[in-house]
Amino acid sequence: MNGIKKIKKDENGTLHVPDRPVIPFIEGDGIGPDIWKATRLVLDKAVQIAFRGEKEIEWLELDVGEKGYQKTGEYLSDQALQSIQDHVVAIKGPLTTPIGKGFRSLNVAIRRKLDLYACVRPVRYIESVPSPMKYPEKINMVVFRENTEDLYAGIEWQSGTREAEQVISFLKEKMNADLPDHAGIGIKPISEKNTKRLVASAISYAADHNLPSVTLMHKGNIMKFTEGAFSNWGYEVAQEEFGDRTITENELYEKHGGKVPAGKIIIKDRIADMLFQQVLLRPDEFSVIATPNLNGDYISDALAAQVGGLGMAPGANIGDRCACFEATHGTAPKYAGQDKVNPSSLILSGAMMLDYMGWEDASERLRKALQDTVKAGIVTYDLARQIKDATEVKCSEFAKAISERIK
């Protein structure tokens, strides 16, 4: 057996994963410790069963969030960020946003400091999970949300402050803008570089997974130079970097009579508000969705609701140097320490991490065991309140039930 090593990424972006990789984890705040304990149990079991002990993850704890603050006086140290970068792959529970301590959000800080520019959120229906949809099995999408800019860049000024007044007078006097007095002001930067790398990663994903289309979601009819530009740059990068693999939706009908040529990925775009209704009415028309930050935040939670809610929604933040897999929900403080909540979001994020490492033998067993557990009616409170005659179990009992079903 190999000794313990770090995962490496070469200059072509290929991952080299040793048999005993060290993977840093952040337990998280609030419900974090409960869902992390559950996740670690089932990840270790899936790896052990899939590889019969020949592969094993060596976990390395990073003290971030409230735990970090108590131990070191820092919520997010440079050392922790460096460790994630050095080990290439990491996993984290949810973190509380400290009020008035210099961070807007620790999660946003991690994404921006490590340049994890793609927030990847797969939305797939797991059989037997309660859903408000008539045909939830038609939902199988992956959202690629831009993670570093848009209104989330944090460039904003409160109404009535000197800074806001300065910006307003500049816009009125120098740019001829019509603005209400004393408005709060936020800036929405969307750049060609960041759009193109996000859309390129979405198209690469579609190509690697044989998916039929990439939809550019935007509100370019109103915000022409930000959201409209996102769509234009998306089409451009599809042509520049994937010209032999992609066709636009227009070309599909104008040149190919609506019949998709073999091996081609369709690039299309949809106005954001319309896409919200189309993913409800005709979800099977969408597979990969690439979108700016704010739209991506909204659509991924809305899609999660269609397949069981936030407790079931996995996610990852992926950049060129490293990736951090995380539950998409927050710390749910009212349930902290109660061993109550659904750990599936973090467990499924762990399964995504195993996929990313090329350990699909383990991730597929894990997903199957989770589905079998829900099918057997063994669920945490959030699903129990939607399933008649379900057996409601604690977070740790749910993990144990999954673990016993990993074959």
* C-alpha closest to that of 119 among 289, 294, 316, 287: 316
Bridge partners of 92, per DSSP, are 26, 326
Output the CA angle 144-222-318, nearest 5 degrees: 15
Q: Which is nearer to ligand NAP, 96 or 213 (CB)?
A: 96
Chosen residue from 94, 136, 283, 314 binding ligand NAP by CB under 6 A:
94
Q: How far is the CB of 86 from ligand NAP (least distance, A)?
A: 22
**Binding range to ligand NAP, per CB under 6 A, among 267-275, 291-299, 326-334, 364-372:** 326-334
d(CA 386, CA 13): 43
Is position 341 an interface residue for ligand NAP (rule: CB under 6 A)? yes
Q: Which is nearer to ligand NAP, 95 or 129 (CB)?
A: 95
- In the chain, the N- to C-terminal Cα span, in Å, equals 23
Output the CA angle 190-196-200, nearest 5 degrees: 140
Is position 231 an interface residue for ligand NAP (rule: CB under 6 A)? no
Q: Any idea what DSSP says for residue 260?
A: P
Q: Which is nearer to ligand NAP, 21 or 330 (CB)?
A: 330
Neighbours of 100 (CB within 10 A): 5
Q: Any idea what DSSP says for residue 122?
A: E
**List 55, 219, 340, 400, catalytic entry:** 219
Residues 101-160 that bind ligand NAP (CB under 6 A): 105, 107
Within its chain, how far is the Cα of 277 from the centroid? Answer: 21
SS3 19: coil
152 is catalytic: yes
Element spanning 324, H or E: strand 323-327
d(CA 49, CA 12): 31
**List 34, 63, 297, 382, catalytic entry:** 297
Is position 95 an interface residue for ligand NAP (rule: CB under 6 A)? yes
Structure tokens at 318: 């992926």
Chosen residue from 195, 201, 295, 331 binding ligand NAP by CB under 6 A:
331
Neighbours of 195 (CB within 10 A): 26
Q: Which is nearer to ligand NAP, 50 or 353 (CB)?
A: 353
Is position 345 an interface residue for ligand NAP (rule: CB under 6 A)? yes
Element spanning 90, H or E: strand 89-92
Question: Which residue has the CB atom at the shortest distance from ligand NAP?
Answer: 330
Positive/negative CA dihedral, 78, 83, 89, 94: negative
Q: Which is nearer to ligand NAP, 217 or 310 (CB)?
A: 310
Is position 50 an interface residue for ligand NAP (rule: CB under 6 A)? no
Chosen residue from 23, 24, 42, 97 binding ligand NAP by CB under 6 A:
97
Q: Which is nearer to ligand NAP, 51 or 69 (CB)?
A: 69
SS3 125: coil
Structure tokens at 237: 């990068």
Output the CA angle 94-36-341, nearest 5 degrees: 75
Site string for ligand NAP, 249-278 (x = CB under 6 A): ------------------------------
Q: Contacts with ligand NAP: how many residues (CB under 6 A)?
A: 20
**Binding range to ligand NAP, per CB under 6 A, among 9-17, 147-155, 169-177, 328-336:** 328-336
Q: Which is nearer to ligand NAP, 238 or 312 (CB)?
A: 312
d(CA 342, CA 382): 7
d(CA 304, CA 329): 10
Is position 39 an interface residue for ligand NAP (rule: CB under 6 A)? no
Structure tokens at 147: 């993670």
Q: How far is the CB of 68 from ligand NAP (least distance, A)?
A: 14
Is position 80 an interface residue for ligand NAP (rule: CB under 6 A)? no
Output the CA angle 403-37-313, nearest 5 degrees: 80
Q: How far is the CB of 52 from ligand NAP (least distance, A)?
A: 31
In the chain, the amino acid numbered 236 is E
**Binding range to ligand NAP, per CB under 6 A, among 109-117, 132-140, 180-188, 338-346:** 338-346
Site string for ligand NAP, 290-319 (x = CB under 6 A): --------------------xx--------
Q: How far is the CB of 287 from ligand NAP (least distance, A)?
A: 25
**List 125, 152, 205, 356, catalytic entry:** 152
- Residue ranges binding ligand NAP (CB under 6 A): 31, 35, 94-97, 105, 107, 310-311, 326, 329-333, 341-342, 345, 382
- Catalytic machinery residues: 152, 219, 273, 297
